[in-house]
Structure 1
Amino acid sequence: MSHARSEYADFKALAPDVFDAVLALGQFAAKSGLDQQLLELIKLRASQINGCAFCVQYHILQGEKLGLSADKLNLVVVWREAPLFSARERAALAWTEALTLLAGGVSDEIYAQVSAEFSEKELTYLTSAIASINVWNRFGASYRWTPPLRPSAPKAAAS
């Protein structure tokens, strides 16, 4: 059984400057005007690839809060086979996978696909979001942060 080596709150307390820098990098894309649901999908996909349980659960919960359908959240792991993703989402997910699995480089085909869907400026911010989640995944997976739990529904009052 896996156990946490340290927790998310420990990271923030131990190195607040690093925490703030990683947080800021991720916030640039959100402030750029890129669709928040799209950003959650790419963060979820990178976290799945990197095996970061904390980040997978965190981004599922964030996606739910933003109104992403359960189908999209469940099928992002197999997005190529699921017809419910738009061309823009597919391009972003392909770009996410290429940048997360960098060992083979980024193909001209994937670059052309993502460039057809995103402006140069948008692509720069999308890339910053992917870089940011990959940094978070390095911390979350290596320290085995405990995944956040879904908030419990309030108990019904006895009648």
Structure 2
Amino acid sequence: MGLPPLSKIPFILRPQAWLHRRHYGEVLSPIRWWGRIPFIFYLVSMFVGWLERKRSPLDPVVRSLVSARIAQMCLCEFCVDITSMKVAERTGSTDKLLAVADWRQSPLFSDEERLALEYAEAASVTPPTVDDALRTRLAAHFDAQALTELTALIGLQNLSARFNSALAIPAQGLCRIPEKRS
């Protein structure tokens, strides 16, 4: 079995649980594992909030695609679920969501999205395979602030996806993709 989720959300995290209910309609399940270390949970939540702010230099679709690809790479069921929901919301369809695993072959992605996805993959493998050629292309496209935030997002999504995957935190059904009819 593994580490079981907490049956009760700690008192200190109840405001966060309320925000989850308000935004998602239910409490996100990782809080029941992170609840054992509430201070760290709040730090991670603040980090997410900062990267997702409206004034971020990174396009929201790029942020969502990068997060979705890392979730796929880490085999994180919960992360794939929630990032899929965000990609679908931010793009208005499921087309890019369904193509993100094979983004190199898909014509749906912009140059900026392709570069961000390439960087996310290269930075997320162990050891990272980010080379000087990729760094040069990144610097030509993203300013210092955007590149720093993209790198922080990649690191944060790896933390989240690896935490959730290692503890086998399941998907919650946040992104229900209708089956295609033939």
The TM tier, using the shorter chain, reads 0.7 to 0.9
Does 2:81 match 1:57? yes
Residue 65 of structure 2 corresponds to residue 41 of structure 1: yes
Deviations 1:57-95 (A, max 9, x none): 110012222234311001110111111111100110011
- Native 8 Å contact 1:47 1:55 kept in 2: yes
| Counterpart code for 1:93 | L
Give the equivalent residue in structure 1 for 2:24.
none
Q: How many corresponding residue pairs?
A: 151
Identity of aligned pairs, percent? 28
User: Which residue of the other structure, out of 122, 129, 145, is the alignment partner of 2:153?
Assistant: 129
* 8 Å contact from structure 1 (residues 28, 125) kept in 2: no
Instruction: Note the aligned Cα RMSD (angstroms).
Output: 2.1
- Asked which structure has the greater RCO (Cα within 8 Å, sep 6+), the reply is 1
Q: TM-score, normalised by structure 1?
A: 0.85
Aligned counterpart in structure 2 of residue 24 of structure 1, from 46, 51, 56? 46
Pairing 1:146–2:170 present: yes
* Conservation of the 8 A alpha-carbon contact between 2:57 and 2:145: no
Report the structure, 1 or 2, having the larger helix content: 1
Amino acid at match of 1:87: D
Deviates more, 1:76-85 or 1:96-105: 96-105
Q: TM-score, normalised by structure 2?
A: 0.75
Q: In 2, Cα distance between the equivalents of 1:36 and 1:64?
A: 11
- Mark the runs of 5 or more structure 2 residues left unpaired by the alignment: 6-28, 177-182
Aligned residue for 1:147, secondary structure, equals coil
State how far apart, in whole Å, the 2-side matches of 1:121 and 1:80 are. Answer: 26
CA contact (8 A) 1:72 1:84 kept: yes
